[in-house]
Amino acid sequence: MFDSHCHFEPGVDAAGWIARARAAGLDGLLACGGSPEADEGARLAAGLAPGFALAAFGLDRDAADAVAGPADMAARMAALERTLLAERAAAVGEIGLDYSRGEDAAARARQRALFAAQLRLAAKLGLPCSIHSRGAEEDTVALLRENLSPELAAAGRAGSLHCFVGTAEFAAALAPLGLCFGLSGIVTFRNADALRAVVPLLPRDRILVETDSPWLAPVPLRGRPCEPAFAVHTARRVAELLGLPEREAFALFSANARRVFAAR
């Protein structure tokens, strides 16, 4: 089992998280950045458990408003490239688009520019991406089509649409682009029938399980701060939806994640 998207936020018990994840049967996790604090958490996790905790670094959508024009964008991409190479990163992320808070046209344009720049950098370096998309499906698909690495897409290694809660139509648009689908604790929630109906329609070799720790704790642990060990509960629910024995499903989810994020 592999937690394909989690955040080691400041103040979490990083060593405890890793120990409990191993004890729960996980064989790896992707610690995602996206901000200076989240990047530092990813760096910490990778340092504590080399080979088990893989790291991703990036500039999430909230950073878009701070970019002061093309020269600043170029400088930020150069700095990110140095980090990705120096840290031997497994992915670029968390990056993406979020239009859920009433962003105006200018704010959306800034998000798109930052997302596209990082997709191009990931293609240059041959790295997959961990992608956030909320209320921005059409723009997400368009930018992925324009900027993803054709080689990674053909290999099904372009990355993951993390915390996927989309429709069957959105999934059908993402699959040919080499994207995987990160299923979080949301799939266990009482009000997630629409998502559960989509899960059996997803290509099995593109299904990942994630926690998005420290958020979205799955049933039966709702209300608690989430951590990577909790991925087991989500994986069991996804296995049920796919009609697979747990052992087979867990091995599938891990193999999918390692194909995408640990191929280097």
Helix (H, G, I), strand (E, B) or coil at 194: helix
Q: What is the pLDDT of residue 98?
A: 96
Give the model's pLDDT for residue 87. 96
What CA–CA distance (Å, rounded) separates 100 from 29? 28
Q: Round to whole Å and give the CA distance between 110 and 218.
A: 33
- Rounded to the nearest 10 degrees, the angle between the axes of helix 105-125 and helix 70-86 is 40
Share of the chain above pLDDT 90, in %: 96
Residue 91 main-chain phi, psi, to 5 deg: -165, 165
| pLDDT tens readout for residues 50-100 | 999 999 999 999 999 999 999 999 999 999 999 999 999 999 999 999 999
Q: What distance in Å separates the CA atoms of residue 117 and residue 75, rounded to the nearest whole number?
A: 11
219 CB-near residues (< 8 Å, 6+ apart): 185, 188, 189, 190, 233, 237
pLDDT of residue 153 exceeding 70: yes
The span from the CA of 49 to the CA of 15, in Å, is: 9
* pLDDT tens for each residue of 167-187: 999 999 999 999 999 999 999
pLDDT band at 22 (very low <50, low <70, confident <90, very high): very high
pLDDT-derived band at 103 (thresholds 50, 70, 90) equals: confident
Residue 239 phi, psi (nearest 5): -60, -45
Instruction: Give percent of the chain with pLDDT exceeding 70.
Output: 99
Confidence of residue 264 (pLDDT cuts 50, 70, 90): low
> Would you list the domain boundaries of the chain?
2-261
Q: What share of the chain is helix, strand, coil (3-state, %, to 5)?
A: 55, 15, 30
Residue 133 CA: distances (Å) to CA of 40, 84, 160, 198, 253? 23, 22, 11, 17, 21
H or E segment and range at residue 183? strand 179-183
pLDDT at 35: 93
Residues 174-227 pLDDT 10s: 999 999 999 999 999 999 999 999 999 999 999 999 999 999 999 999 989 999
Distance CA 198, CA 7 (A): 26
Mean pLDDT, residues 229-241: 97
- pLDDT above 90: residue 263: no
Superfamily of domain 2-261: Metal-dependent hydrolases (3.20.20.140)
